[in-house]
Amino acid sequence: MARIRLPFPMPSRQPPQSRGSSSGRIPGGYGQRQRPPFGVGNSRQSSGGGGLLSGGMKMRLLIALGFIAFALISYYGKPGDVNQITGERERVALPEETQEMALGQQAAPEMVAQHGGASRSRDGQALVDKVGVELLAGLDVWMAEREQQIGVELHNPYQFKFTLLADDQTVNAFALPGGQVFITQALFARLETVGQLAGVLGHEVGHVVERHGNERMAKQAMFSTIAMGAGTAAGGDARSVQMAQAVANVIQMKYGRDDELQSDRWGVILTEKAGYDPRAMIGVMKVLDEASPDGGPPEMMSTHPKPANRVAYIKQVIHDVFPEGVRPGLTP
């Protein structure tokens, strides 16, 4: 009988292929089955046999679903807190306004220090205070009108404080939860009318009224937990969690842009209630546009809409709020 010669190397015994599978060898692999990268997961199928997911993968998915369920239930499972100024329900991290004010007062000194301290211009600070008081009086008028519409008693629980900062380089204005409102000297000096100042401060008052900082904290907690779950499902390593968190941050930026437009609406309303022409806010957008000649980052990667888009929105708000036109006699 002729001797049978076997090829070298001798073929190893391969386990039978599952039904419907393609070629048993993975291109670039080392046999029919490929070991999961970085040692994550289990190369053997679960004890049930025939399952497509390894036991380790199933466990990661269960943990991820637990994270996501917890985040959604924690955020959407509560009825929300009633805004004492608007009468509407909101989902916030801090339900008590006193907590918001304490948080803002705690953070205020650091914010002031970062911008060179408070301005030494007594006249400038006096003007900021004057316009701030007028805007809050306008807010009282708005609340009285709102009470008649919804039949619910409203009041302003916040202790507002308006501060002109010494920073003459950074064109900015911002507000902290609870009523701390700031405008830099750099922006203050660029404004051409008191009406424009009212528009800037009214916008920031809108952030406080709508509790945007408080809402963002609640959303951030939800998205961070979801990102942790998504990272766990994707592999559980630090890179997977970081990628999931990056996606969550972009989503939250969209919420930030919506907040800015909502505050622009408040700027229009409060500016007019305080006796100033709301069209002055269009001039504010021109100032902001000129302050960033490079155009800034793409809008989807920014917490603020581009000034040109905000101009169109402000004009539409003015048309909607004052369909018969802005009343005459307002200070520009």
pLDDT one-digit tens code per residue, 112-139 = 999 999 999 999 999 999 999 999 999 9
Q: What is the pLDDT of residue 307?
A: 85
Q: What is the pLDDT of residue 54?
A: 65
Task: Give the whole-number percent of the chain exceeding pLDDT 70.
Answer: 68
Q: What is the pLDDT of residue 26?
A: 35
- Regarding beta strands 89-90 and 81-82, do their DSSP bridges make them parallel or antiparallel, or are they unpaired? antiparallel
Q: What is the pLDDT of residue 308?
A: 83
With a CB cutoff of 8 Å and minimum separation 6, the contacts of 102 are 178
With a CB cutoff of 8 Å and minimum separation 6, the contacts of 189 are 168
Task: Give the whole-number percent of the chain exceeding pLDDT 90.
Answer: 58
Q: What is the pLDDT of residue 86?
A: 98
Tell me the pTM.
Answer: 0.74
Query: What is the band of 179 on the pLDDT scale with cuts at 50, 70, 90?
Result: very high
- Cβ–Cβ under 8 Å, residues 291 and 168: no
Q: What is the pLDDT of residue 58?
A: 72
pLDDT one-digit tens code per residue, 209-245 = 999 999 999 988 777 777 766 666 566 566 666 766 6
Q: What is the pLDDT of residue 263?
A: 97
DSSP-assigned letter for residue 230: H
Q: What is the pLDDT of residue 297?
A: 65
Give strand ranges (E) for the chain: 81-82, 89-90, 161-165, 173-176, 180-184
Query: What is the band of 15 on the pLDDT scale with cuts at 50, 70, 90?
Result: very low
Q: Between 202 and 65, where is the model more confident?
A: 202
**Nearest CA among 240, 244, 326 for reference residue 280:** 326
